[in-house]
Structure 1
Amino acid sequence: MSKKVGIIGGGQLGKMLVSEAAKMGIYTIVLDPDEDSSAVSLANEKIVACFDDRAALLELARRTDVLTCEFEHISTEVLKYLEDEGFVVYPPAEKLEIIQDKYNQKMELKKHGIPVGDFMKVSGIEDIKAAAKIFDYPIMLKTSKGAYDGKGNSIILCEEHIEKAFMELGGNAASIYVEKFIPFTKEISVLYCGSTNGEVVVYPVAENIHKGGILYETAVPATISDTQRKNAIEIAKRVYSLFGSVGMLCVEMFVTKSGNLLVNEVAPRPHNSGHYTIEGCTTSQFENHIRAVVGLPLGKTDLIIPTVMRNILGEDGFKGIPVIVGAYEALSIEGLKLHNYGKKETKPKRKMGHMTITASTLDIAREKADRACKVIKIISK
């Protein structure tokens, strides 16, 4: 319990990690380039620096007992240096480096027989056209690095869309690849967590809905068959054996029209689709991540009650100092919990917070979530 934890990244995931650490009396230092990032308001200390700043990361490592991260896009070169110097980093740089590059991530999954959709590397417009002849339209053009929340992805419906999609993704032939479009019926995710002592726990399968590439809703339990549930957990277990280390790992999957499961992406950290665990499970993903990296026993992951999580995004047409409207009305809804990330600026589609609604059934929880979404908005002054 006396260990100090260094958290690389001060966004909302970092904030929720710091919050759980504080409950257990665990000292935290957050490194982030934004001096007003969400997590620094709760952390014991902050270091304001970029994620590839070797001197700053070395300082963070020297002042803490273990380093962990709230997102993937960190310089693995610096993390390897820290590991060579004897500092403890979770996830390890070697695994993080593979996961950071989504094409390499898919190659590694395929190499180990984990089910993924068809994909291929491309190096320009002519290659994309050739891929479309193999996969047929529509196809997904993706950047292999830095993509999140719908950014770095473009769906191509016909040949006339290829050049525009290529340029929208930066026109960088070295970092793109094509995936065959998967006409899925559901999106699901499974959260795994492993501790320094080898203990592993798994969370209930979650069902996710995305809008515009951004997670809109997570509902638990997922409305899938028992066979699909077992298969999802087994696939996530195999992915964990490949990429997992210490802390949380999220495996996102598609349920195809034929009922099969295909892995879409892997994230080696707490995940947006795991926010429901704060109110919905015995132990949240954030508490278990902190427990894991400091070597404490992991908490139970049982679902307490059906739960729906909805992200709260910045409203279109508003940019500036955020103002929450409708919070009073939303919080009058029984079973609703509101999480405000405390970001200093709102932008259209920026994740500003989330709400969770617990109820005796998912239908009731969704009805309440729909009511809340009609009243709560993030605008600007």
Structure 2
Amino acid sequence: MHDIISKKVGIIGGGQLGKMLVSEAAKMGIYTIVLDPDKDSAAACLANKKIIASFDNRAALLKLAKEVDVLTCEFEHISTEALKYLESKGFTVYPPAEKLEIVQNKFNQKVELKKHGIPVGDFLKVHGIEGIKDAIKIFNYPIMLKTSIGAYDGKGNSIIRCEEDIEKAFMELGGNADSIYVEKFIPFVKEISVLCCGGINDEVVVYPIAENIHKDSILYETSVPAMISDAQRNNAIEIARKVYRILGSVGMLCVEMFLTRSGDLLVNEVAPRPHNSGHYTIEGCITSQFENHIRAVIGLPLGKTNLIMPTVMRNILGEDGFKGTPVTMGAYEALAIGGVRLHIYGKKETKPKRKMGHITITASTLDKAREKADKAHKIIKIISK
């Protein structure tokens, strides 16, 4: 019998998602190498080896590929041309470049989903300020202006509520007429996410649906189980499974959706990797999203995704007015609250609104978990020396 535990995994990207992937791999004795341009990346301190190079450095990626059995990505903004080159040499990459190429361009992602009958909001490709004005005539105010490439953590989105916002929003997103598109504003009731994980034998498992709250377009809180009806839950799972068949490969895929006032579900975005809204799975589920991703890419059976207890996750961001070497304040007091678990990512620099860690709270009910989350979240602060 082939010993798949002896497989070596290369992770492209050394941020917090990479760190949590490495942590789960280490528990199973799996050797990991991380490639990242930052020598002090969050994952670097845990990986067996690190390669310091840019994500489009073909020579470095080839070196990584030659030293491992399988490659995976902790985020989607990686040169697909470089990944195609690796695939042409016979190396295994999850997700494959073909899928990643569709997902990393948000406009193309929407086109692909719509083509396959997945419910999405109305959207249009526009070119420059005049194109935005033409879209407003169709959709009316407000509308969402978005960049199709490279957006994350609230960057790349801007809401236009009146004519005075148009040029400002356009310039905020870089002023590049070729990379923008607009979406009709959706007055949603809830935002949810459905996490799926697929194995190499076409097995797909689905996690309990999460309910998300964003502030300034950055995820603030995830709570599980989501407070939705059984019919909405079943519909969300069915949609997520369809999306996985279209855009998934092997490993994690997150499908973010809006629940509208009429009770419809519309897919907002898709991410082919572990996701911030899935951090709750570390303490909240039998098998975390990170463990299942590692299991998937090396060919192990996928673990059960059952929710252990109601769970709330809150992101910890860098405090306004602080930039530099991070200092975590309030850890002792926060951890004295029963059920609170603290994750600090180990980034070498804090700055306002940067994700520096998260807390997870499990309790017998969501109300109790959120009450403890409120207390702990007020105490924990990331400042600088």
Same fold (TM over 0.5): yes
* 2:142 matched residue in structure 1: 138
* 1:181 matched residue in structure 2: 185
* 1:21 matched residue in structure 2: 25
Q: How many residues align?
A: 381
Q: How many angstroms does 1:196 deviate by?
A: 1.0
* 1:224 matched residue in structure 2: 228
Alpha-carbon distance in 2 for matches of 1:358, 1:338: 12
Letter in 2 for 1:316: D
Letter in 1 for 2:241: K
Alpha-carbon distance in 2 for matches of 1:189, 1:375: 28
Query: In the alignment, does 2:321 pair up with 1:317?
Result: yes
Alpha-carbon distance in 1 for matches of 2:201, 2:130: 50
Q: TM-score, normalised by structure 1?
A: 1.00
Query: In the alignment, does 2:99 pair up with 1:95?
Result: yes
Alpha-carbon distance in 2 for matches of 1:148, 1:186: 20
Alpha-carbon distance in 2 for matches of 1:86, 1:316: 47
* 2:298 matched residue in structure 1: 294
Q: How many angstroms does 1:105 deviate by?
A: 0.1
* 1:210 matched residue in structure 2: 214
Q: How many angstroms does 1:374 deviate by?
A: 1.2
In the TM superposition, 1:102-141 aligns within 5 A as: 102-141=106-145
Q: TM-score, normalised by structure 2?
A: 0.99
Q: Give 1:239's match in structure 2, choosing from 237, 243, 248.
A: 243
Letter in 1 for 2:180: I
Q: How many angstroms does 1:370 deviate by?
A: 0.3
Q: Give 2:352's match in structure 1, choosing from 334, 348, 351.
A: 348
Q: Give 2:196's match in structure 1, choosing from 189, 192, 199.
A: 192
Tell me, what secondary structure is at the counterpart of 2:302? coil
Query: In the alignment, does 2:328 pair up with 1:336?
Result: no
Tell me, what secondary structure is at the counterpart of 1:40? coil
Alpha-carbon distance in 2 for matches of 1:328, 1:248: 33
Tell me, what secondary structure is at the counterpart of 2:332? helix
Q: Give structure 1 stretches of 5+ with no counterpart.
A: none
1:148-197: CA deviations, max 9, x gaps?
A: 01101100001121011111111100000000000001000000001112
Q: How many angstroms does 1:199 deviate by?
A: 1.4
Query: In the alignment, does 2:380 pair up with 1:376?
Result: yes
Alpha-carbon distance in 1 for matches of 2:265, 2:203: 26
1:117-154: CA deviations, max 9, x gaps?
A: 00000001111001001001000000000000110110
* 2:161 matched residue in structure 1: 157
Q: Give structure 2 stretches of 5+ with no counterpart.
A: none
Tell me, what secondary structure is at the counterpart of 1:120? strand
Alpha-carbon distance in 1 for matches of 2:261, 2:150: 30
Aligned-residue RMSD, C-alpha? 0.4
Letter in 2 for 1:276: Y
Alpha-carbon distance in 1 for matches of 2:160, 2:248: 33
Tell me, what secondary structure is at the counterpart of 1:98? helix
Alpha-carbon distance in 1 for matches of 2:329, 2:342: 12
Q: How many angstroms does 1:236 deviate by?
A: 0.2
